[in-house]
Amino acid sequence: MNDEEQEKERLNRKLIELLNELRIAIPGVQVLFAFLLILPFNSGFVETDDLDRAVYAGSLSCAAVASALLIGPAAYHRHRFRRLEEETASDKKEMIITQDHLAAGGILFLALAMAGSVFMVFDVLFGTVTATIVAGSLVFAYAWFWYALPVSRRIRSSRSRR
């Protein structure tokens, strides 16, 4: 087996892993998006203040963008699927990098939509101060667990290999 074939196999594995990871995130963003779509049709929504309406609009927009970005890699793969066998390893690598960026952007917008949605609920239940503390804490938790922790482990791992 030559180096090009080994590289293609490695890239195929990375692609499968990415698409499997997205299978976990997509249902969550779809449920959140559906919830946000029906929220204004509830009778109590008319009583929300301007802040909650603004947070709602931002959360709905973030959920819509997250849906587009998280579903994007599957659509991208589907359009390129028949040509994948003909492509070189560098073509496949470029495709995986693009899909990875779409997924990372989708996760960012999902975190914002989730934090905004939680803010709205806590604002109605407990007031703006509590809502701000809880939503801010969530943003911190998402930033740590979804970004900083994996990046710090990757950096630590790369240092230990040197």
Tens digit of pLDDT per residue, the chain (162 long)?
A: 677 678 878 888 888 898 888 889 899 999 999 999 999 999 889 889 999 999 999 999 999 999 999 998 888 877 776 665 666 777 778 888 999 999 999 999 999 999 999 999 999 999 999 999 999 999 999 999 999 999 999 888 888 877
pLDDT at 46: 87
* Matching residue, tokens 């503390």: 133
Question: Does the global pTM surpass 0.95?
Answer: no
pLDDT at 83: 65
pLDDT at 76: 81
pLDDT at 86: 67
Domain boundaries of the chain, sorted by first residue: 3-161
